[in-house]
Structure 1
């Protein structure tokens, strides 16, 4: 137990206030100095404030940013334009899997930029096919998409193929298009009127998409239509028609909603933006069974929870085969910050995707796919996957103590698993306050949904960095508790 947490065991004990204590970083006696970052105007230089004002004058006002201009980073740490240091426990919103300033990624990027950056998809390039092969083979090895780990068993016939995009929302848009085309063709292939008259696929009613509460699938119009949050949706109504909302984890509600007109079901195995909620095995088994019954495509959005964030390649890698999807969408960590997304789709769906069905100018560029091939190779190495599981277990041990330390504030154990975790609070005003105070003490965090603070650090984060972040969180909560 750390000295900070020990002090917080009793509600009447003296609560630590900033600056936080020195946090020992390793057995080698490396240490992080106590950090405080005042953010009032008097503490910031006129030049710094002027630059923020200048940027604000030319950038659209779609983000409520604190007075912080990030300059560079190394590993899990970032620095702002005046040298202030922060532990980045947001990893660029679960993007920087290998941290900041990775030397291997930087060297590879420079080398590839000197060779070729873009060619378009009119031609093959050297790396898109190699990355697609790696994604498919690594999925078969680790399990997911209907393949049991090791590839000895699989659900359905055939293998899988990949379409590359530039982002997660583009991947979700493409996946829903794939599902709709597949559904219409399947509908048209059936015979009607009892006399063998073929249906025309353009007359198909198999177009509806089921989505779930608390989901976040993106901000383009199709993905936004599957993101049931009034804050995001209402300013842009009317949305795309044909979307049916079901409560997440509600088996009976799902059964009552799905029907023969459903072409797709899109769901996150672990919801990120919506609050770090995790679906049950029973829930996913029901999704799979009912999709099979009506001929709908099951899409797992693993943009935030996939690619080893849970310790497994996919959040659903360990699920039984009768709980697994037809399509996986991914993006965030795939190239460690360079924009790329991908749709991993089983062959029986991919056969409907023919020339002209979909496209992208920048997706699958030789530059993005070479970087992603390197990143995925490192993420899937036994050394790093073992590290992720070990660090995830340590983080869990720290998080598990919060409800007993702060019983009036932390309402239940942290949600999620591995290195995607959400700390839920009774008072919904606490997450924003905790994030502000933690930033002033040198740790960058995120909110999730209405009630939680989200922890999504780089996947190579060190044990001592986890302790530093948790010591800051406990220190801030202790200060807040003492004021109540």
Structure 2
């Protein structure tokens, strides 16, 4: 273990030191705010890393989970659950898919997408992209195009190839009759908040059809209204074979899903895949209430409007700063790329009472709840500008 790793180990903790934890202890949260154990309240512009799309402790989600809690929260997937069918119907009605498999997280859902792609096509090669992020299990980690994520774990699962993002020519050269799937994020989140161009996504769809490969979109971070559409692939007017959802799906309750086209059902019959906890009644109560609220209150439309406001204000206040290289994103998924490391600025913003996170070494990432007000967004922008202008 090197000295850098040692710095992040709290010798008094009984937890594995897998996270670089802040000097903040969570106490409670409501709406767009988190209160720490010391009583200080923070404007939350990270939403649990793009999870709490409806804000903390949303009343509709809270009520739904509480009602299910008193009925029971586990019986196993040998039982039929009405909540699974209702939640799956909401997802298929608002996507290009027809059938759903429920998991517990985005990583698990991506793992399912990898398995389904290989089993349905009978092929093993999967193409993803440099700086992509798909998870940390062995399969989803192998799909992730970041060497830093692979380091220390020995040989990766074979069959994955990483291409430059948004490069149609490279994809045309790489995709072939051995390709099971192309996995792509409509906006690379952990890779720096980098949107895929509509032309690129259309090319992925076309080349997958031409070569008999599956078109898989990882919407773990971009889905459920985040980018100004229910799913971000809609901006490009494409029709993926598999959509991977998680994060915002349960508004903080652990749940993931893959949404697939009907013809894929033959590859995922009894015994082919499974999960003990996936699709449990509590998760479905949270997801169903979340989806119903996102749809009925047009949260995607709100994200588009507020995102345009946020981008305009950021450009106005910091767009000409010598420290800012680029401001980019879609809806309420915004990245501010600096000419230098962003970590110290993020911590300075936090000291001013606003929570944000990074996306790669030089990017400040904003992922606020979709319910955030324009006044709260303005406060966040003013705080960013103050910190960038005084440091």
Give the 3-state SS of the residue equivalent to 1:317 in structure 2.
helix
1:329 equivalent in structure 2: 244
Corresponding residue number in structure 1 for 2:284 = 369
**1:403/1:411 contact within 8 Å kept:** no
**How many angstroms apart in 2 are the aligned matches of 1:317 and 1:64?**
35
CA RMSD of aligned residues (A): 1.5
Q: Could you say what secondary structure the match of 2:257 adopts?
A: strand
Q: Deviations over 1:9-65 (max 9, x none)?
A: xxxxxxxxxxxxxxxxxxxxxxxxxxxxxxxxxxxxxxxxxxx968x5211101111
Contact 1:248 1:279 in 2 (8 A): yes
Which residue number corresponds to residue 311 of structure 2?
396
Cα distance in 1, alignment partners of residues 214 and 298 from structure 2: 35
CA contact under 8 A between 1:214 and 1:449: conserved in structure 2?
no
Which of these two proteins has the greater Rg computed from alpha carbons? 1
**Stretches (4+) displaced over 3 A:** 382-386, 402-405
Residue matched to 2:82 = 126
8 Å contact kept, 1:212–1:246: yes
- Where does residue 325 of structure 2 map in the other structure? 411
SS at 2:94 equivalent: helix
Gaps of 5+ in 2: 1-8
Partner of 2:3: none
Q: Could you say what secondary structure the match of 1:61 adopts?
A: coil
Flag the 1:471–1:120 CA change in 2: closer, same or farther, 3 A.
same
Does 1:420 find its partner at 2:358?
no
C-alpha distance after superposition, 1:277-297 (max 9, x if no partner): 111122112211211121111
Query: Size of the alignment, in residue pairs?
Result: 383
Q: Deviation digits for residues 86-124 of structure 1, max 9, x if unmatched?
A: 011000000011111223322222221110101111110
Q: CA deviation at 1:230?
A: 1.9
User: Secondary structure, in 3 states, of the residue corresponding to 1:334?
Assistant: helix
1:469 — aligned with what? 380
- The offset of 1:389, in angstroms, is 2.4
1:456 is matched with 367
Aligned mates of 2:51, 2:319 — CA distance in 1? 32
Matches within 5 A, 1:382-393: 382-393=297-308
Q: Could you say which residue in structure 2 is the equivalent of 1:278?
A: 195
Cα shift at 1:383 = 4.5
For 2:231 and 2:315, the matched residues in 1 are separated by: 24
Counterpart CA distance in 2 for 1:399 and 1:68 is: 27
Runs of 5+ consecutive residues of structure 1 not aligned to the other structure: 1-51, 140-144, 146-158, 185-205
CA apart distance, 1:456: 0.3
Paired with 1:329 and 1:287, the residues of 2 have a C-alpha distance of 16
Q: Distance in 2 between matches of 1:317 and 1:272?
A: 17
CA contact (8 A) 2:343 2:361 kept: no
Offset at 1:403? Answer: 5.1
Who is 1:22 aligned against? none
**Contact kept? 2:175, 2:207, Cα under 8 Å:** yes
Cα contact 1:284–1:324 (8 A) shared by 2: no
Distance in 1 (CA, whole Å) between partners of 2:133 and 2:271 is: 28
Cα distance, 1:450 vs structure 2: 2.9
Structure 1 residue 126: Cα displacement: 2.2
Task: For 2:363 and 2:352, locate their aligned partners in 1 and report how far apart those are by CA, in whole Å.
Answer: 19
1:182 aligns with 2:120: yes
1:58 aligns with 2:20: no
Cα displacement (A) at 1:349: 1.7
How far is 1:237 from its partner?
2.1
SS in structure 2 of the partner of residue 79 of structure 1: strand
1:402 to partner: Cα distance: 4.7
Query: Does residue 171 of the first structure (1) align with residue 109 of the second (2)?
Result: yes
SS in structure 2 of the partner of residue 235 of structure 1: coil
